[in-house]
């Protein structure tokens, strides 16, 4: 059971990064509203931010002084007990509009003509219009990229939690695959994977793709009552939440047996391409370069290269930036954590593998292989 309860980020480091961003972008205030960035700056998030998106939680950070956390009064106790932010401003649901409270806060801070960083990718068009009307002389700046950069370099605590979660997820898949046999349904195998993951500290199921037979051609196939058949392929892409806010995400492909020659060939080619990209992952290399390298490796191996991206960063959101896609020229840095996940459609379905790679001072470390997946796994 991995430790998912200890805090992995701290006030000093999170607010320090936020204030660096404020200086760098010459902002007066930086406002987080998405559950991910709210958590990153406050050390907590509300259950209802996920289930009731209109019940916004926000935090406004300025260059100095205590930040202000804006919360629905239903979450009063949670806000007081769980956050490291001491400037608290509650609003009453349906009586107050959350963004109106934000504009009051910004006005009180003297920023009615200020330069305010907000999450343009998250805040709704309706809320943004209202905010602009309330503060017509303020300048609103998209701060999404600033938050992405803050979160891209993981803390030591985040690296440990994400790595342990990835490894536990890999172990869970392996353990379930070891019990899988001809006649078992996709659903039963998926249930086993979840139970194994829960026993290791996994919490909510986030995604579970699992397919065999004809279903294997659907990239995002959900488990059905289809049964494993001799000679078939079994593929999964599976993730749960850990510590309430972090994610795991591992893809694996195995074979029911007897292993067919074309299966072995496709599997080995995919694994070779995967390892070639891993070998190139180090500080300074651009995300987009890795994408092109993968495309070249696939071409060499005569594999059909169709992926719009070959991987992503991971943390408090499943797909974080930088992304391993052709237009992301971010150079890799030590402390970044990537999920590398090449895939290819073979003769009998989609083949997929996915690993967590930590960028280190002197190269990289693969954090997610609990067993040797370089050889095709054949179910007994």
In the complex, minimum distance from the CB of residue 301 to a copy of itself, in angstroms, rounded to a whole number? 22
What residues from 245 to 304 belong to the interface with a copy of itself (CB under 8 A)? none
| DSSP state at residue 331 | B
Q: Which stretch binds a copy of itself (CB under 8 A): 9-17, 50-58, 274-282, 351-359?
A: 50-58
In the complex, minimum distance from the CB of residue 149 to a copy of itself, in angstroms, rounded to a whole number? 17
Total residues at interface with a copy of itself (CB under 8 A): 51
What residues from 184 to 203 belong to the interface with a copy of itself (CB under 8 A)? none
By the rule CB under 8 A, 133 interacts with a copy of itself: no
Name which of 125 and 261 has its Cβ closer to a copy of itself: 125
Query: Crossing angle of helices 35-42/11-24, nearest 10°?
Result: 110
Q: Using CB atoms within 10 A of its CB, is residue 6 exposed (0-12), middle (13-18) or buried (19+)?
A: exposed
Instruction: Taking the CA atoms of 305, 307, 308 and 311 in sequence, report the sign of the dihedral they define.
Output: negative
Indicate which single residue of 84, 100, 128, 295 sits in contact with a copy of itself (rule: CB under 8 A): 128
Residue pair 328/287 in contact (Cβ under 8 Å)? The answer is: yes
In the complex, minimum distance from the CB of residue 360 to a copy of itself, in angstroms, rounded to a whole number? 27
Query: Crossing angle of helices 125-134/98-108, nearest 10°?
Result: 40
Instruction: Give the C-alpha separation, 156 to 163, whole Å.
Output: 11
By the rule CB under 8 A, 88 interacts with a copy of itself: no
| Omega before residue 110 within 30° of 0, cis | no
Residue pair 341/310 in contact (Cβ under 8 Å)? The answer is: yes
| Omega before residue 72 within 30° of 0, cis | no
| DSSP state at residue 216 | G
Q: Which stretch binds a copy of itself (CB under 8 A): 107-115, 122-130, 151-159, 170-178?
A: 122-130
Q: Which stretch binds a copy of itself (CB under 8 A): 24-32, 293-301, 316-324, 364-372?
A: 316-324
Name which of 206 and 259 has its Cβ closer to a copy of itself: 206
Q: Which stretch binds a copy of itself (CB under 8 A): 46-54, 158-166, 294-302, 355-363?
A: 46-54
By the rule CB under 8 A, 348 interacts with a copy of itself: no
Instruction: Give the C-alpha separation, 291 to 337, whole Å.
Output: 16
Q: Which stretch binds a copy of itself (CB under 8 A): 61-69, 170-178, 215-223, 297-305?
A: 215-223
By the rule CB under 8 A, 204 interacts with a copy of itself: yes
By the rule CB under 8 A, 129 interacts with a copy of itself: yes
Query: Hey, what are 101's tokens?
Result: 């409270």
In the complex, minimum distance from the CB of residue 378 to a copy of itself, in angstroms, rounded to a whole number? 27
Strand ordering across the sheet containing 29-32: 87-91, 68-72, 58-62, 29-32, 115-118, 139-142
The residue assigned the tokens 């026993």 is: 199
The SS3 call for residue 165 is: helix
CA distances (Å), 38 to each of 26, 65, 166, in order? Answer: 21, 18, 24
x/- contact string, 91-110, with a copy of itself (CB under 8 A)? -xxxx---------------
What residues from 216 to 235 belong to the interface with a copy of itself (CB under 8 A)? 217-220, 222
What residues from 57 to 86 belong to the interface with a copy of itself (CB under 8 A)? 72-75, 77-78, 81
Indicate which single residue of 31, 161, 323, 359 sits in contact with a copy of itself (rule: CB under 8 A): 323
Q: For residue 79, which phi and psi values (nearest 5 degrees)? A: -60, -45
Instruction: Give the C-alpha separation, 352 to 252, whole Å.
Output: 6
* Contact positions vs a copy of itself (CB under 8 A): 46-48, 51-52, 54, 72-75, 77-78, 81, 92-95, 118, 120-129, 142, 144, 204-207, 209, 217-220, 222, 239, 244, 308-309, 318-319, 323, 325-328
């Amino acid at each position: 059971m991995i430790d998912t309860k200890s805090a992995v980020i701290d006030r000093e480091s999170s607010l320090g990064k936020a204030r660096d961003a404020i200086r760098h972008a010459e902002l007066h205030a930086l406002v987080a509203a998405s559950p991910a960035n709210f958590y990153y700056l406050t050390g907590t998030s509300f259950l209802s931010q996920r289930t009731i998106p209109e019940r916004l939680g926000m935090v406004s950070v300025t260059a100095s002084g205590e930040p202000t956390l804006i919360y629905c009064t239903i979450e009063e106790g949670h806000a007081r007990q769980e956050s490291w932010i001491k400037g608290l401003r509650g609003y009453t649901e349906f009586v107050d509009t959350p963004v109106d409270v934000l504009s009051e806060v910004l006005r009180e801070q003297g920023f009615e003509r200020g330069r305010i960083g907000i999450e343009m990718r998250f805040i709704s068009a309706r809320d943004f219009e209202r905010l602009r009307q309330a503060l017509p002389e303020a300048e609103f700046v998209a701060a999404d990229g600033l938050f992405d950069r803050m979160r891209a370099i993981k803390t030591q605590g985040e690296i440990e939690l994400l790595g342990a979660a990835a490894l536990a997820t890999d172990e869970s898949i392996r353990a379930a695959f070891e019990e899988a046999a001809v006649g078992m349904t996709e659903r039963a195998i998926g249930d086993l994977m979840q139970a194994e993951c829960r026993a290791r500290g996994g919490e909510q199921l986030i995604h579970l793709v699992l397919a065999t037979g004809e279903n294997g051609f659907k990239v995002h196939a959900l488990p059905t009552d289809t049964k494993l058949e001799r000679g078939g392929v079994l593929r999964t892409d599976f993730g749960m939440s850990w510590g309430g806010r972090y994610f795991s995400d591992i893809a694996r492909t195995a074979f029911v047996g007897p292993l067919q020659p074309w299966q072995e060939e496709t599997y080995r080619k995919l694994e070779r391409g995967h390892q070639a990209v891993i070998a190139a992952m180090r500080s300074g290399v651009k995300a987009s370069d890795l994408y092109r390298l993968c495309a070249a490796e696939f071409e060499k191996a005569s594999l059909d290269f169709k992926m719009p991206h070959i991987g992503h960063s991971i943390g408090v959101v499943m797909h974080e930036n930088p992304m391993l896609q052709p237009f992301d020229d971010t150079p890799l840095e030590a402390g970044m954590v990537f999920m590398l996940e090449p895939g290819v459609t073979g003769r009998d379905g989609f083949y997929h593998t996915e690993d967590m790679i930590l960028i280190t001072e002197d190269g990289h470390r693969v954090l997610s292989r609990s067993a040797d997946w370089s050889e095709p796994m054949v179910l007994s």
